[in-house]
Amino acid sequence: MSTAARTPAGPLYKPAVALDFFKTSGKPERIPAGQTIFAEGKKGLLFHDKMYLLISGEVELQSKKKVLATLKAGEIFGELAAIDGAPRTASAVAKIPCKVIGLDEKLFYAALRKKPAFALMLMSVMINRLRDTITRLAAAGDMSEREATKESVTFKPKMLADLVRGLADDPPVFFLQGKQIMQAGQTGLRMYAIVEGKVTVTIGGRVVERLGPGGVFGEAALVEQSTRLASALAETDCSLLAISRNAFMALVKVSPQFADAILASLAERMRFLTARLQ
């Protein structure tokens, strides 16, 4: 992604709130110009699986020696590795002297327990990056179905039922095989968790994800009350638990397990789509 194509972090993102969150568990550190903060393809304790807030300076994100983006003060980067511990999808290099705060997985989740509402802001950042990635894939004609993601499970059905009991306004809804559940571009009023059956998620008419019991979809539109990123079709007869935006917002703020699982689900989708750009 060129610097000119920078995507806003999202309407929910506030740099001052992010700084307050990072200061809860992390300490500022200075990075000299030219130093690699983290390297593409690396993982593990020796490689500092941290997410960062850039307090001052500029950081370049690079993949295969190509500059993907130039980050400015107030932006978050490296969040995927801190959330799921998988290898880095890009390198981060200090373009000029920088000041950052880094949180590893343990510190990040410790901070999230103290300030759970930050999860919504981070979701907003990740969803805007998903939108940008989808736009670039479509422009490049690379929305092929060559590698639909594996069937992913976000929640065990019992855990989800326990979490939303008393919060979800609607009883389970049913869709017959082949029926459209949601359409890209529509306004999202609910997210869905699969109780029984399988659902196919598509972007631009191409399958990008297949979900079974415990899988969730449609959450991206709820965070910012924006339009749907993808369409969903009942691959088999399905029983779905519909979760309103009010219930979703409440769950993120009061249930660390719910917020953690949604962040992990977004990270998995981000990794899958980002890999297609490289």
pLDDT score recorded for residue 4 = 35
pLDDT score recorded for residue 7 = 46
Q: b/e map of 58-84 (b: 16 or more CB within 10 Å)?
A: bbbbbbeeeebbbbeebbbbbbbbbbb
CB distance 216 to 265 below 8 Å? yes
Burial class of residue 252, CB neighbours in 10 A (0-12, 13-18, 19+):
buried
Structure tokens at 57: 């300076």
The pTM assigned to this predicted structure is 0.78
Domains of the chain in start order, with CATH, are: 3-115 (2.60.120.10), 135-275 (2.60.120.10)
Q: What does the pLDDT profile of the chain (278 residues) look like in tens digits?
A: 333 344 456 667 888 999 999 999 899 999 999 999 998 876 544 445 789 999 999 999 998 878 988 999 999 999 888 887 777 888 999 999 999 999 988 888 888 888 888 988 898 888 888 877 777 776 666 555 444 455 555 677 666 667 666 655 567 899 999 999 999 988 888 889 888 899 998 888 888 888 888 888 988 888 877 788 889 999 999 999 888 888 888 888 888 888 888 888 888 877 777 666 55
pLDDT score recorded for residue 5 = 40
